[in-house]
Amino acid sequence: MSALVRSKGWKSYAIGAAVVAALLGATACESSAANGSGEVKSSNQLNATSLAKLSETASGKPGNASDSTSGNSNGGVSGGFGTIAACTENGLAVSAVKEPADSKEARHLLIIVQNVGDEKCTLHHYPYVRLGNGQTTVPVIEDSDPDPGVPVTIAPGEEAYAALLVSGGARDEYEVKNITLTLQGRKPGSKVSKPIDVPMPVDTLYADDGQLVTYWTTASGFALDFIMSK
């Protein structure tokens, strides 16, 4: 059966090629015969459209002079992070724990976000964290970005982490009764969520000006490495 199909395919190709050659020859003859009569037919009349139609006749498939591929409206590749929406407060469960869990002082925290939605979402850059009301955003540890320029994608049920150093041994210590975080968008500095309350792992934290936070990652140990020695 496959041999027969190939035979028909070659036969169709041969017929198509013959038709094209015949037309080209006929056009050339017409051009030669018309010399001196004031009527000249150019071979350009056999344009790309005509060739496409001949191709369609010979092969049984639509012929195109050129193919083009258009990107999606996001400018991303289908299935890549460009087409996956950013995580928002509506699809995440947020919590925080002390590290290590049996430590007397809550200086090192692990912020945990879990995707509780139905679709994948992306976490861009790092969280904007505030320790207490009216405080400035916690500075980020720039070296903690696990894959610069690439957001963290979490599927439903999966978790991502950011480590938080509450106090780095600086002066001007103050009490913290609440923690909030805001999610960034793809563009650095943009925001895609309202401030999200992070449940306190202890009743009161004592923060200072040495506080730091890491980029998002799916490896909790990687994030903690940047703050546990401080």
Q: What is the pLDDT of residue 23?
A: 37
Given a cut of 60, is residue 13 above it in pLDDT? no
* CA–CA distance, 164 with 111 (Å, rounded to integer): 7
List, for residues 174-184, the tens digit of each pLDDT value. 999 999 999 99
Q: What is the pLDDT of residue 208?
A: 93
Q: What is the pLDDT of residue 198?
A: 98
List, for residues 75-120, the tens digit of each pLDDT value. 222 344 458 999 999 999 999 999 999 998 899 999 999 999 999 9
Angle subtended by helix axes 2-33 and 48-59, to nearest 10: 150
| pTM (predicted TM-score) | 0.65
Q: Give the model's confidence band at 170: pLDDT under 50 very low, under 70 low, under 90 confident, else very high.
A: confident
Comparison of pLDDT for 35 and 192, the residue scoring more: 192
The burial of 61, by beta-carbon neighbours within 10 Å (0-12 exposed, 13-18 middle, 19 or more buried), is given as exposed
* CA–CA distance, 118 with 133 (Å, rounded to integer): 33
Comparison of pLDDT for 59 and 127, the residue scoring more: 127
Comparison of pLDDT for 229 and 224, the residue scoring more: 224
Q: What is the pLDDT of residue 104?
A: 87
As a whole number, mean pLDDT of residues 148-170 equals: 95
